[in-house]
Amino acid sequence: MDSVHYTCFTSLSAVRVVTMKWPILLNVMLAIGSWAAVVEHTFHLNWTEASPDGHSRPVIGVNGTWPPPTIHLTKGDRLVLHVYNDLPSQETSIHFHGLLQKDTNYMDGAGKVTQCPLPPGHKMTYDFVVNQAGTFWYHSHMTAQYPDGLRAPIIVHDPEFPYHYDQEMVLTLSDWYHDTSDYLLRSYLFSPQRNPKGASPVPNSILLNDTLSSNITVIPDTTYLIHLINIGAGSAQYFYIDGHKFDIVEVDGVYTDRASAQCLYLHVGQRYSILLHTRTSSESNFAIVNVPDFRAFKGPRPQSLEQYQQANWLQYDPQGQAKLNAVSMVQAASEYDAIYFDDFNLVPFDKRPLLSSPNVHIEITVTLGFQHGVRRVFINNVTYEPPEYPTLYKVIEAADPWDLSMHSNNSSYVVLNYGDVVQLVVYNDDGTSHPFHLHGHELQLVSRSPEFDRLARLDGNSAQFPQIPMRRDTVRVHPYGHMVARFRADNPGVWLFHCHMDWHFAQGLAMTFIEAPDRIQQLQIPPDHSRLCSLPRSSISGAVISIT
Residue scoring higher pLDDT (468 or 460): 468
360-534: CATH topology: Immunoglobulin-like (2.60.40)
108-121 confidence digits (pLDDT tens): 999 999 999 999 99
Domain boundary assignment for the chain: 3-157, 167-345, 360-534
Cα first-last separation, the chain: 42
Residue scoring higher pLDDT (539 or 505): 505
Element containing residue 62 per DSSP (H, E): strand 57-62
Superfamily of domain 167-345: Cupredoxins -  blue copper proteins (2.60.40.420)
Given a contact cutoff of 8 angstroms between Cβ atoms, the answer to whether 82 and 127 are in contact is no
Q: How many helical (H) and strand (E) elements, i.e. helices and strands, does the chain have?
A: 8, 32
Which amino acid is residue 335, in one-letter code? E
φ, ψ of residue 522 to 5 degrees: the values are -85, -10
Distant-in-sequence, close-in-space partners of 434: CB < 8 Å, separation ≥ 6:
366, 428, 476, 477, 499, 501, 504, 509
What integer pLDDT is reported at residue 325 of this predicted model?
44
Of 297, 224, 512, 221, residue with least CA distance to 394: 512
The neighbouring-strand residues paired with 237 are 266, 292
Residue scoring higher pLDDT (548 or 300): 300
Give the mean pLDDT of the chain: 87
Is the pLDDT assigned to residue 140 strictly greater than 80?
A: yes
Side-chain-facing half-sphere of 496: CA atoms under 13 Å: 30
Side-chain-facing half-sphere of 342: CA atoms under 13 Å: 12
459-468: b (≥16 Cβ within 10 Å) or e: eeebeebbee
Separation of alpha carbons 233 and 292, rounded Å: 12
What integer pLDDT is reported at residue 122 of this predicted model?
98
pLDDT band at 373 (very low <50, low <70, confident <90, very high): confident
Separation of alpha carbons 111 and 124, rounded Å: 13
312-322 confidence digits (pLDDT tens): 999 998 876 65
Residue scoring higher pLDDT (325 or 348): 348
Same CATH fold, 167-345 and 3-157?
Answer: yes
Q: How many CB atoms lie within 10 A of CB 381?
A: 9
Of 56-60, 154-158, 194-198, 263-267, minimum mean pLDDT range: 194-198
Q: Is 367 helix (H, G, I), strand (E, B) or coil?
A: strand
Average pLDDT over residues 415-442: 97
What integer pLDDT is reported at residue 300 of this predicted model?
61
φ, ψ of residue 529 to 5 degrees: the values are -85, -50
Of 332-341, 360-369, 439-448, 475-484, minimum mean pLDDT range: 332-341
Sign of CA dihedral 96, 98, 100, 105: positive
Separation of alpha carbons 89 and 540, rounded Å: 5
Is the pLDDT assigned to residue 237 strictly greater than 80?
A: yes
pLDDT band at 384 (very low <50, low <70, confident <90, very high): very high
What integer pLDDT is reported at residue 18 of this predicted model?
28
Name the CATH architecture for the domain at 3-157.
Sandwich (2.60)
Sign of CA dihedral 83, 81, 532, 439: positive
Q: Is 122 exposed, middle or buried (0-12, 13-18, 19+ CB in 10 A)?
A: middle
Is the pLDDT assigned to residue 21 strictly greater than 50?
A: no
